[in-house]
A and B are shown apart, each in its own frame.
Chain A
Amino acid sequence: EVQLVQSGAEVKKPGESLQISCQASGYIFTHHYIAWVRQRPGKGLEWMGVFYPGDSDTRYNPSFQGQVTISADKSTSTAYLQWRSLKASDTAVYYCARFHLPYAFDVWGQGTMVTVSS
């Protein structure tokens, strides 16, 4: 079974750093992009960017460029989303999803809730 399992909820203070993870199983990790999607409380879905573990090709939404870093560890089939300095406006649920053409986002992680509050 193809699965993406994300790390647990986080509560952080503004200015702190954070890395959340998304572990893939059931398929060849290096053959498909992993995307990250933000959903602020009560709001819609926002595409943050994609990462291709096969060659580390990374594409960011300009709205998120420089604010986050997307990466992956092929040896553990795990993708990461990282912040250097969190803001209150980063409070959201973050989803990872497998992306491959023409199927769009066919498998999703369960989401990681990130709360940033002083």
Chain B
Amino acid sequence: EIVLTQSPGTLSLSPGERATLSCRASQSVTNNYLAWYQQKPGQAPRLLVYGVSNRATGIPGKFSGSGSGTDFTLTINRLDPEDFAVYYCHQYGTSPQTFGQGTRVEIK
């Protein structure tokens, strides 16, 4: 199976700063089927980005995804208080589908 490794495990930033989250795959992700989700405590995950760089419906432009092959990045510009959460990458091009272990973005 494809192992997704996210880094860092925790990112401590202040509101207004930019967050850069990394997701590295153990092998190439088929058809760039790589998504990012945000999860807040007690809530279901929410789709942010699919197909590496396509924002899901209703997701603001401050969230952007990039990358290809085995290295992917989620960038969050100008962090707002509601952006502090856990973020997961997910590859859905090869079965079994897999998730990264998550990056927690916390308030510094």
Q: Are A104 and B33 in contact (CB-based, < 8 A)?
A: yes
User: What does the 1/0 interface line of A80-112 toward B look like (CB < 8 Å)?
Assistant: 000000000000000100010111111011110
Interface stretch of the complex, out of B11-19, B72-80, B89-97: B89-97
In this complex, the interface size class of chain A, counting residues with CB under 8 Å from chain B, is 20 to 34
Q: Are B92 and A99 in contact (CB under 8 A)?
A: yes
A108-B44 contact, Cβ under 8 Å, with A44-B101, A101-B33, A102-B50:
yes
* Residue ID in chain A nearest B100 by CB atoms: A44
Contact call B90/A105, Cβ cutoff below 8 A: yes
Asked whether B35 lies within 8 Å of A44 as measured between CB atoms, the reply is: no
Judging by beta carbons under 8 Å apart, are B96 and A47 in contact? yes
Q: How far is the CA of A33 from the CA of B44 in the complex (A)?
A: 18
Asked if A75 lies at the interface with its beta carbon under 8 angstroms from chain B, I say no
* A102 partner residues in chain B, CB cutoff 8 A: 31, 33, 50-51, 54
Residues of B within 8 A of A (CB): 31, 33, 35, 37, 39, 44-47, 50-51, 54, 56-57, 88, 90, 92, 95-102
What are the 10 tightest A-B residue pairs by CB atom distance, in nearest-first order?
A: A104-B35, A108-B44, A61-B96, A47-B97, A45-B99, A104-B50, A102-B51, A44-B102, A44-B101, A103-B50
22 pairs of residues in contact across A and B, judged by CB atoms under 8 Å: A44-B99, A44-B101, A44-B102, A45-B37, A45-B102, A46-B99, A47-B97, A61-B97, A95-B44, A95-B45, A99-B92, A101-B33, A101-B92, A102-B31, A102-B33, A102-B51, A104-B47, A104-B90, A108-B45, A108-B46, A109-B44, A111-B44
